[in-house]
Amino acid sequence: MPSTGAGAGGSAAKSCRREGPRHEPENAAPEAPGGACDTHIHFYDTEERYPVAPTATFLPPPARIADYRQVQERLGLERVVVVQPSSYGTDNRCTMDAVAELGPGVARAVVVVDQSVDDAELQRLTDGGARGIRFHMLPGGALPWEILEEMAARVHPCGWHVQLQCNGHLLPEREPMLKRLPGRLVIDHVGRFMDPVPPDHEAFRCLLRLIEGGRTWVKLSAPYESSKAGPPGYGDVSMLARALAKAAPDRMLWATNWPHPGQKNPQVRDDALALDLLLDWTLDEATRNRILVDNPAALYGF
């Protein structure tokens, strides 16, 4: 594991950069600043170790810590947020075991819990590095919309936020509820608008309104999950990412979405290209370093 380097003050460290033309896997990988954080990855193992949830739609091949360390070393990433994958439902053992192995100085977790969780378990998860509850409102998700407000209130005293992944087209109808949440809200994958929308579309304007409220964060990640334009530039999603980074650079996050579950295209799965896209989505080094270092340090408590 790389050292923590410049930590939350990484804005004074080297900026992410690439030698040679962008978006070409054969070129040198971009280099992240000290303290950079990948805010969305998943770990998977065999069913013998961690059984698949009844709600799961698939189980990707094993993706373990040793595999992810290669990504960290290649890109210079020092911190990571392990997100509970839909494959394991409310059984958070794979996620929390990984965070324990990675260590409290460099890893945090976003987990999935329902109404059956007791206060002792919430405290145990918090002590182990959990900082958020995940609502994956797509096929395979374990929690329904109907309990989102209840669970947000339940985990708020623990200092947790709500992490939400849904089709961004649903945001306007859910806007009143999302504005009522007691704590912070993190929205995945550039809003995951399926199909992508122009910046003046009402659904994207709703996302901007949520951001303007001061408690909503967005992950600039996984454009392939919704893009119709495709790699390398993901033009339809990239214009939304740029607008978001301009609107609230202090509440943007970045992630690889490693190991890119369900994706087969080698270009899509190149984590260096994911980091390289941030060069296209942001205007200056200070903004990139804020997104990679300072923002996740503030949200996840590194």
pLDDT at position 14: 42
27, 92, 167, 257: the active-site residue? 257
pLDDT bucket at 285, cuts 50 / 70 / 90: very high
Q: Could you tell me the pLDDT band of residue 10, with boundaries at 50, 70 and 90?
A: very low
Q: From CA 221, how far away is CA 175, in angstroms rounded?
A: 22
Q: What pLDDT is recorded for position 19? A: 35
- The residues that bridge with 136 in the sheet, in sequence order, are 165
The rounded distance, in Å, linking the Cα atoms of 172 and 195 is 15
283 confidence band (pLDDT: 50, 70, 90): confident
**Each residue's pLDDT tens digit, 125-182:** 999 999 999 999 999 999 999 999 999 999 999 999 999 999 999 999 999 999 999 9
Question: Is 1's pLDDT higher than 80?
Answer: no
Better-scored residue on pLDDT, 196 or 26: 196
| Residue 143 pLDDT | 98
Please report, rounded to a whole number, the percentage of residues in the chain having pLDDT higher than 90.
Answer: 87
Closest C-alpha among 292, 297, 189 to residue 244: 189
pLDDT per residue over 55-90, tens digit each? 999 999 999 999 999 999 999 999 999 999 999 999
- Bridge-based pairing state of the strands 161-165 and 130-136: parallel
pLDDT in tens, 12-60: 334 444 333 344 544 556 789 999 999 999 999 999 999 999 999 999 9
> What pLDDT does residue 166 have?
98
Q: Is 265 a catalytic residue?
A: no
Count CB atoms within 10 A of the CB of residue 265.
Answer: 11
A 10 A CB-CB count for 264 gives 7
Contacts of 161 (CB under 8 A, 6+ apart): 131, 132, 133, 183, 184, 185, 186, 217, 299
Residue 286 reports pLDDT greater than 80 = yes
35: CB partners within 8 A, 6+ apart: 4, 5, 6, 7, 8, 9, 10, 13, 78, 79, 292, 293, 297, 302
When the pLDDT of each residue in the chain is averaged and rounded to a whole number, the result is: 91
Give the class (CATH, top level) of 33-300: alpha beta
**3 pLDDT more than 60:** no
Q: How wide is the angle at C-alpha 268 spanned by C-alphas 27 and 89, nearest 5°?
A: 135
The structural domains of the chain, with segments of one domain joined by +, span 33-300
The confidence score (pLDDT) of residue 28 equals: 56
Distance, CA of 212 to CA of 248 (rounded, Å): 8
- How far, in whole angstroms, is CA 104 from its chain's centroid? 18
Torsion (CA) 301, 35, 226, 66 in degrees, nearest 10 = -100
Rounded mean pLDDT, 199-214: 98
Number of Cα atoms under 13 Å in the Cβ half of residue 144: 3
Confidence check: pLDDT of 205 > 80: yes
Mean local confidence (pLDDT), 194-201: 96
Residue 288 pLDDT greater than 90, yes or no: yes
Distance set, CA 129 to CA 45, 95, 143, 223 (Å)? 20, 10, 21, 27
